[in-house]
Chain A
Amino acid sequence: MTQKDPKLLIQPGPQLRQQMTTPVVMRDVWYALTPATLAGIWFFGLGALLVLLTCIAGAVLTEWYFAPEEKRGYYIGDGSAILTGWLLGLTLPPALPLWMAFIGGVVAVGIGKTIWGGMGANIFNPALVGRAFLLATFPIAMTTWTAPGDFFTLSSSLFALPLMQSTVDTVTQASPLGLMKFEQIDTPFVDLLFGNTSGSLGETSGLLLILGGIYLWWRRDLDWRIPVGILGTAIIFSSILFLVDADKYPGPIFTTFAGGMLLGAIFMATDPVTSPLTKKGTWIFAVGIGILVVLIRVFGGFPEGIMYAILLMNAATPLIDSYTQPRVFGRELDSK
């Protein structure tokens, strides 16, 4: 009694399955990241692509190594390790020695995700854990920004031997944030918008990152409250500072488009695993990141603050969640 096209299908539930599975969401994020990534490779050359691929390789190999043997295909197949490596790569300087990029990928998945219990159990955004580790471990290499250059020229610093530093000096150029912080030089808005500045390889093109964000919002993969909350808070806060002393503090447009602000606000803070579940909590989370970013950038020791801002609010997420639980319908306000 097998029918090719049965009129009535009898089977145990669930009858309707959610279309938005992890692999689908992860692939959506890939598509959203592609334009900004291509722009980064275009500006910084093939070396940037190598850094990116090395990060992805480090992340995927670590995921594969620590996954239970019989589930390895599934663990790699959901695309989350590739995405982690990809996001990490986008936050790195384009001429970082490849062995460091590989270690970053390993740390991102190993210490950022696997030891917490794998997919969905991590407290901190894995890609940012990888970046934080690299920044603390190799502070010089991680803040050596190369200027956008010839497409086919590969910087020799990429191929430094494992454990060794690069001996050849590369053509370096301070990032817009560094220029602003240490020399008070503003970068033209057009360069910030299209990405023709030095910086991490995926953070420079503001316009394409926003396009990716709109795509994710349209696909409903992204909670719009987080980027809107972060950017809104940062804009308001930096506007106030700008109005107080325009010579000393960067303006709201610079704050939004320079550095990793957009990349972090759109692609990293919105990670559903490490952001709050409730609407109210999401707003608190986003406003907290916005304030912290401006605080760290303007008053802190680092030129860039988005990474630590997101990691700090990641740490606060369980607390926010427990304080913003909505009232169960029908219960009294103060009953537990």
Chain B
Amino acid sequence: MAKEKLAYDEFMKGLWRENPVFVQVLGLCPLLAVTNSAVNGLAMGLASFFVLLGSSILVSLLKNYIPKQVRISCFIIIIATFVTVVDYSLAAAMPVIHKDLGAFIPLIVCNCLILGRMEAFASRNTLRMSVADAFGMGAGFLFALVALGAVREIFGVGELFGITLFGPNFEPWVIMILPPGGFITLGVMLLYFNWVEEKKNKIDKQLAAEDGVN
């Protein structure tokens, strides 16, 4: 029972409490580069999710056999294997999206989020925990990518997943599909997350103080 709860905890940690993008601010390069539409965000998120999950499993299984001195290169080789799988599968199944994402699919190899999870979590924890962690972090990254892509697509072209929202007279916010729009949107989202965090801390403090009085 306790173990079950812990695994769930690891999942929620990645999805929300320690969200890789909004709290840890990791993996910004793919995040800003490909999120000019929600579909691209989704594809990128799923690709990263798959790579993270696969390499987490492999690393946590092999952790006792990887020499400490060369662990980073071993992680990179494992990650690169899964990235190659994703790269070729996407190219075969969805060539349009593969072309849109361009160089950013191979670049998942050096996504600091994935390497960070290998080093900080998968190589030190059991398979079960690593899978929970990979699910959480992958879902958190996916969530961030889709959220950012959706906002930028809505304002930038007035569509969401390719469906027109505002009719023909919509005035597109050109900046939102350009790189500055990515930075501005991400900044506003970070602002919101920090604001929520601050508010939560305040309430927690108040509750603690009231508990102390009682």
Q: Considering the chains assembled together, what is the distance between the CA atoms of A138 and B180 in angstroms?
A: 14
Q: Which of A111, A136, A160, A167 contacts B178 (CB 8 A)?
A: A136
A163-B169 Cα distance, complex, nearest whole Å:
9
> Do B174 and A136 touch (CB < 8 A)?
yes
Q: How far is the CA of A137 from the CA of B174 in the complex (A)?
A: 5
CB distance from B74 to the nearest CB of A (A): 42
Minimum C-beta distance from A67 to chain B (A): 15
Q: Is A1's CB within 8 Å of the partner chain B?
A: no
* Chain B 145-173: CB-based contact to A (< 8 A → 1; otherwise 0): 00000000000001000000011011101
Report chain B residues within 8 Å CB of A97.
Answer: 171
Once the chains bind, are B178 and A138 in contact (CB under 8 Å)? no
B170's partner among A137, A139, A163 (CB-CB below 8 A) is A163
Query: CB-defined interface of A78-103 with B at 8 Å, one 1/0 digit per residue?
Result: 00000000000000000001001000
Size of chain A's interface in residues, with CB distance under 8 A?
15
Question: Are B174 and A164 within 8 A (Cβ)?
Answer: no
A132 to chain B, nearest CB (A): 10
* Bound CA–CA A72/B173 (angstroms): 31
Contact A138 B170 (CB under 8 A): no
Question: How far apart are B164's CB and chain A's nearest CB, in angstroms?
Answer: 13
Min distance, Cβ B151 to any Cβ of chain A, angstroms: 14
Which residues B174-210 have CB closer than 8 A to chain A? 174-176, 178, 180, 184, 187, 191
Residues of A within 8 A of B169 (CB): 164-165, 167
Given A163-B166, A164-B166, the answer on whether A138 and B171 have CB atoms closer than 8 Å is yes
Identify which of A115, A136, A141 contacts B180 (C-beta below 8 A).
A136
B174 in contact with A139 (CB, 8 Å): yes
Q: Which A residues lie within 8 Å of B174 (CB)?
A: 136-139
Contact B173 A137 (CB under 8 A): yes
Cα-based distance from A139 to B187 in the complex (angstroms): 23
Would you give the 0/1 interface string for A142-165, flagging 1 where the beta carbon is closer than 8 Å to chain B? Answer: 000000000000000000100111
* Chain A hits for B180, CB < 8 A: 136
Question: Cα distance A139–B184 when bound, in Å?
Answer: 18
- Interfacial chain B residues near A283, Cβ < 8 Å: none
* B184 with A141: CB separation less than 8 A: no
Query: Across the two chains, which residue of chain B brings its CB closest to A100?
Result: B171
B166 nearest in chain A by CB position = A163
B175: contacting residue among A133, A141, A160, A163, CB under 8 A: A133
Contact A141 B178 (CB under 8 A): no
* B173: A residues at CB distance < 8 A: 137-138
- Write the A163-181 contact mask toward B (1 if CB under 8 angstroms, else 0): 1110100000000000000
Residues on B with C-beta less than 8 A from A100 are: 171
Residues B175 and A165 in contact, CB atoms below 8 Å apart: no
Q: Mark A12-27, 1 if CB is under 8 A from B, else 0.
A: 0000000000000000
Q: A111-B184, A163-B171, A164-B171 are in contact. Are A137 and B176 (CB under 8 A)?
A: yes
B178 (CB) vs chain A CBs: closest residue = A136
| Residue among B166, B167, B171, B191 making CB contact with A141, cutoff 8 Å | B171
> Max chain B CB contacts within 10 Å: which of A111, A137, A138?
A137
Contacts of B167 in A (CB 8 A): 164
**Residue numbers in B under 8 Å from A111 (CB-CB):** 184
Alpha-carbon distance between A139 and B172 when the two chains are bound, in angstroms? 10
What sequence of 0s and 1s flags, for each residue 311-333 of chain A, a beta carbon within 8 Å of any chain B beta carbon? 00000000000000000000000
Nearest first, the 10 closest Cβ-Cβ pairs linking A and B are: A165-B171, A137-B175, A136-B175, A164-B169, A137-B173, A165-B169, A137-B174, A163-B166, A139-B174, A167-B169
Given A138-B173, A163-B166, 16 other A-B residues pairs in contact with their CB atoms under 8 A:
A100-B171, A111-B184, A133-B175, A136-B174, A136-B178, A136-B180, A137-B173, A137-B175, A137-B176, A163-B158, A163-B170, A164-B166, A164-B170, A164-B171, A165-B171, A167-B169
